[in-house]
Amino acid sequence: ARPRCSPVVGMSAGGGGGEAATPDELIGGAPLLVFAAEACPYCLELRRELASAGLEPEVHMLDASGREALRQRTGQRTVPYVFVGERFVGGCDDGPEPWMGAMPLLRSGALQQLLDSGSLPADAAALQATARTPVPRRNVALAAGSALAAASLYAYQRLDPLDPVTLLRKLEAESPPLPQALASGRGTLVEFYAPWCAECREMAPMMYRLEKEYAGRVNFVLVDGADPKNEQLVSLFSVDGVPHFGFISAERKLLQTLIGNVPRQAMEASLRRLL
């Protein structure tokens, strides 16, 4: 039978009123243990995939000290941290070995074998071949939208004196904080940009118009991915290129990720999924 255990939120030790348990004290105490963070879309995605496979991990939400302790223990900088017993198997898609990570192990069947027998398949090469199939959560938008975005930028600049970087800064300043947006009961689009990013500047007028059109129905949160103060959000969303768009449902589930110069038609199709 597949091991099942009740999800636990928070990091309290034993009964109520005690000091918070450290990750070291919790590791090994459950067959399948996930350390996560609030508002982390990849943590939510992993828990959803595990539940679909019939697995219910014990889940603990990390505070800053717990996250630093796990970073030092594992060498991994981002949540989630996944343990089978005392064995660290990685985060969502990466881990201590190139073929590890909770999602690759889950897809290949190796996670269940590890839970059942305490050991991984002997043929690591075969496992690697099956484990690295990309998770279908990220669609990279192609350059088909470049001409449309450039035209949009030209038309916008004729109507409004704001340059694109100033417009991006304005949109960011007017954005609600991400926790507030996620608690609103509406879908949320999180856009990571950088002032030096040409595609971000080209898309700024289009995104400005879309924000006005979807006002009151979808939250738009703009984040400067080049600003050191946003490093934690960049890590949480695994941003490795800008512009990076994360579409989060009203139920706080990451539905889709788009990267690059996204055509308006594709952007609107993704926004409609949030309504």
Catalytic residue IDs: 197, 200
Extended strands (E) in the chain:
32-36, 58-61, 81-84, 87-90, 138-140, 187-193, 218-224, 244-248, 254-259
- How far, in whole angstroms, is CA 89 from its chain's centroid? 18
| Residue where the block lists tokens 């002997």 | 122
Q: What count of other Cβ atoms lies within 10 Å of the Cβ of residue 174?
A: 10
Upper half-sphere CA count for residue 175 (Cβ side, 13 Å)? 25
Query: Phi and psi for 60 in degrees, rounded to 5?
Result: -125, 130
- The letter for the amino acid at 99 is W
For residue 1, give the DSSP letter. -
Smallest CA-to-CA distance from 42 within 218, 266, 269, 254 is with: 254
> How far is Cα 81 from Cα 35, in angstroms, rounded to an integer?
5
Contact 89, 82 (CB under 8 A): yes
Within 8 A by CB and 6+ apart from 216, the residues are none
Within 8 A by CB and 6+ apart from 175, the residues are 181, 220, 221, 222, 223
